[in-house]
Structure 1
Amino acid sequence: MFIAYATNVDQILVLRFIAGLGMGGATPVLLALASEYSPQRFKGTVTTGVLLALPAGAMLGGLLAVKILPVLGWQGIYLIGGGFPLLLLFVMYFLLPESLEYLAQNNKSSSLSSIQKILNKISPGIGEIKAKDLLQPNKTQQQKAKLAILFQNNLARTTIGVWGTYFFNWIAWFMLLSWLPTVLKQAGLAPENAPYASVTVNAAFILFALPLAYWLPKLNTAKILTFMLITGLVIVAGLGLFIESNQWGYIFALIALAGFGIGGQQLALNYLVVAAYPTQVRATATGWAIGMGRMGAILGSAIGGIVLTQYGVSGYFYALGVPLVLALCCVFLIKYRIPQVQVDA
């Protein structure tokens, strides 16, 4: 919101960096919270729905920006785009429940009271929850929650691969999403048309995601991730070559394909932990993988302006290839069909 009052490019870059920290971190937190409150059999469907709602909102924002820009100017876009989330913040504070897992680990009487209230809303008449049921997990649960378990039983290489795949892919995706309209304007696209880039990549992501959500449980996760990442590398190389040619038809076609080659991994990653870890440690593995993705999202959202300033529009797209290559290398580290292992009590 404060970007609307910026008086030079340096101020805009600093404020966009700060905004990137928040926007990059919010998405994986939201996904984790939605997953936690979903019934087990609908967890994948709910997570996919939340994931698709994010590009749908970005697409709507792009369409609104096209209408707002001629009337209120670029400052109006940031005022409205920053003002509505602030209003939503107050609504979320009162309506959005805290993570039950977090509350259960916070050994306070107020946490137990909060858990009781949330569970009563979910299932009225559930009865009184005892502190010992939630705040004193048994030894097996404690062992599961330890980070070290992800590096035992020949899982170390897989854990490094999974963390790296999440981290580097989220860098690329959020770097693209956060800075694409700015990059295209700097490349010569008319400012009033730049928001259509966000509309294009997010609409394509949704279109690709619908069949992917159906087929991914039936496909080899490693192979589909490899194919997506290679496709993403071809796309960013093409964008680097065409971006200064003003051939906007080709450029927007490549941007649409980026919805699959860079964004499609967001769906495939949901199945990565399931394919790579035994059941006993899967919950712990998922939490840490999402955490790594969260760090990548924050970093990707924040550094786009720095990359653009240092290397220009062509260099920006070529730079997107670096995290994609690293993510591809990490996929090759992952071992699949891991046998069940015993978690010591």
Structure 2
Amino acid sequence: MAPDGWVSSEHRNSVLWIVVLSTVAIVFDGYDLVVYGTVLPTLLADSSQLGQLDPGTAGALGSYALVGVLVGALLAGAFGDRIGRRKTMLTCIVWFSVGMAATALAHNIGTFGVLRFLTGIGVGGLVETVGAMIAEFAPQGKRNLFNAIVYSGIPAGGVLASIAAITLEDSIGWRGLFWLGALPLVILLPLAFLRMPESPRWLVARGRGADAKAVCDRTGIPMPVAEANETGDRVGFAALARKPLLRPTALLGMMSFSGLLLTYGLNTWLPQIMSEAGYNAKGSLSFLLVLNGGAIVGGLIASRVADRTGPQKVVAVTFCLAALSLIVLTAQLPLGVLLTAVAGAGVGAIGTQVLIYGYVSNYYPTTARAAGVAWCAGFGRLGGIFGPLIGGFLLGAGIASSTAFYLFAAVALMGALVTVAVPKRRTSVGAPAATTNDAFTTITEGNR
């Protein structure tokens, strides 16, 4: 094996294809979840679009998609460990693309809300599935980096949504922005169908060694061996409900709850908060661009540190960065300082959630990995649901925006405390035999 973890150029190319396809899919997931925040000022200001919206109703609409994400993540967790990663991923790409196209056709608040919920089901399933995919394909020493690259697609999608809204909304309208979110159906699905293999590790865990060997022969991916069985005959969510996974699963879920409350609370309401602070429409959207841009750059840097030191400490530190940045946003400071604080909040909120997905997906054994990621993505979506609702409630009640920032800062500190309480895993969850390439050694990264 080469020092960089690849056994051959074919192995490297196959895994990089998986990383690229997963990243593009998550970019459109991120676009879907953020585009609502970019069009929200338009929908609030113009009742001819969907009907009369007040901040409370707008916050509820923002949460419908996240309820769908919760449902989709849990469904994918229930089925992903049984039917496989590939089938789940392809289904979710079709689902959320069709949902985005249908949302572009909505003409009233009720239909819009239902379609946002249905679209969220596909988004949630995909967010859960790619974490399991990357954990089972990435070489050791690159798992946190590859997870960060893939899940940075969420803030990258936010950047794309912000740029599209700034440059295109005047010409194509908010409906055109939703039509753009349906593009994966024609540009991503065919490539994923051809280049996204089933996980050999999942096939081995399900007793399908011959199928796993066929995939490995075709792709150059080294053949894994069966893992030490930590969960007995329990698969998926059943394995999470008992020791040794019960307590860490609860804590990891709270981590994700905190990260996603910050992520969706800020993505939904930051443009409106800044608009009420006196910035024009394009200026307020620029804060959203900085928020997500900071998350991408900071998340990638933090992931490299996490591959060397383990993700647990890094996640705790970035949560604290979010708290500090949000407190700075409450002060009357020059624009440059505010933009720096917004970027720091992006790293500490959205960037932290990127790290959490990598941390979680590498924490679990293959027999419970999809369920573990689904639990954290699904339970975390409760935080994502509360984020827009909290912002809508505070703004609708006429409470100062600084109160929302203080509340979000407290959530970030709670996330940091929960993170340090997660027990370290010391069990090999997939150590191969001596003759097997150690690109498939899956000692949990957080236990170095």
Q: So what's the TM-score if we normalise by structure 1?
A: 0.71
The structure-2 alpha-carbon separation of the partners of 1:53 and 1:271, relative to structure 1 and needing over 3 Å to count, comes to closer
CA gap 1:77/1:178 in 2 versus in 1, 3 angstroms: farther
- Residue 183 of structure 1 deviates from its aligned partner by 0.9
* Inter-partner Cα distance in structure 1 for 2:310 and 2:345: 21
Deviations 1:66-90 (A, max 9, x none): 3346x46xxx6523323433x4486
Equivalent residue for 1:79?
Answer: 175
Most deviating of 272-281 and 218-227: 272-281
Q: Structure 1 residue 253: deviation in Å?
A: 1.3
Counterpart CA distance in 2 for 1:41 and 1:262 is 25
CA displacement at 1:282 relative to structure 2: 4.5
91 and 44 in structure 1: CA distance in 2 versus 1, 3 angstrom threshold:
farther
> In structure 2, how many angstroms separate the alpha carbons of the residues matched to 1:259 and 1:19?
19
Q: Secondary structure at the residue paired with 1:193?
A: helix
> Aligned in 2, Cα 1:6/1:251: closer, same or farther, shift over 3 Å?
farther
Does 2:272 match 1:182? yes
Q: Decide which of 41, 44, 48 is 2:138's aligned counterpart.
A: 41
How far does residue 166 in structure 1 lie from its aligned partner after superposition? 1.0
> 1 or 2, which has the higher helix percentage?
1
Query: In 1, are the aligned partners of 2:271 and 2:284 still within 8 Å (CA)?
Result: yes
What CA distance in whole angstroms lies between the structure 1 residues aligned with 2:372 and 2:252? 9
Equivalent residues in 2 for 1:248-259 (5 A)?
A: 248-259=335-346
Q: Is 2:64 aligned against 1:21?
A: yes
Helix, strand or coil at the partner of 1:294: helix
Contact 1:308–1:315 (8 Å) recurs in 2: no
C-alpha deviation, 1:175, in angstroms? 0.8
The equivalent residue for 2:101 is none
State the Cα distance separating 1:283 from its structure 2 match.
4.8
**2:327, 2:276 → 1: CA distance?**
18
Q: 1:82 to 1:143 in 2, by over 3 A?
A: same
Q: In the alignment, what sits opposite 1:30?
A: 126
Aligned in 2, Cα 1:319/1:203: closer, same or farther, shift over 3 Å?
A: same
8 Å CA contact retained: 1:179, 1:304: yes
For structure 1, which segment, 23-32 or 50-59, has the greater mean C-alpha deviation from structure 2 after superposition?
Answer: 23-32
Q: Is the 8 A contact 1:21 1:299 kept in 2?
A: no
Give the secondary-structure state (helix, strand or coil) at the position aligned to 2:138. helix
Aligned to 1:192: 282
Paired position in structure 2 for 1:317: 405
Residue 34 (structure 2) aligns with: none
- SS in structure 2 opposite 1:304? helix
What is the one-letter code of the residue matched to 1:40?
Answer: F
Once the two structures are superposed, residues 98-137 of structure 1 have per-residue CA deviations (whole angstroms, 9 ceiling, x without a partner) of: xx89xx9xxxxxxxxxxxxxx9xx9999xxxxxxxxxxxx
How high is the TM-score relative to the length of structure 2? 0.57
> Which residue of the other structure, out of 282, 306, 313, is the alignment partner of 1:216?
306
**For residues 267 and 93 of structure 1, what CA distance do their matches in structure 2 show?**
22
1:21–1:302 Cα contact (<8 Å) kept: no
Higher RCO, 1 vs 2 (CA within 8 Å, ≥6 residues apart): 1
- Give runs of aligned pairs for residues 260-279 of structure 1, distance below 5 A: 260-273=347-360
Shift of 1:274: 6.0
Q: 2: distance between equivalents of 1:83 and 1:277? A: 37
Unaligned runs of 5+ in 1: 105-118, 126-139
- 2:103 is matched with none
Cα distance change, pair 34–222 in 1 and its aligned pair in 2 (3 A): closer
Give, in whole Å, the separation in 2 of the partners of 1:93 and 1:214.
Answer: 28
Q: How far apart, in 2, do the equivalents of 1:271 and 1:142 lie? A: 26
Equivalents in 1 of 2:365, 2:188: separation in Å? 36
Q: Which moved more, 1:21-30 or 1:202-211?
A: 21-30
Following TM superposition, the consecutive aligned residue runs of length 4 or more in structure 1 with deviations greater than 6 angstroms are: 122-125
Cα distance between partner residues in 1 of 2:373 and 2:342: 30
The alignment covers a number of residue pairs equal to: 301
Which residue of structure 2 lines up, in the alignment, with residue 166 of structure 1? 256
Q: Which runs of 5+ in 2 are unaligned?
A: 1-38, 70-119, 203-211, 219-230, 430-448
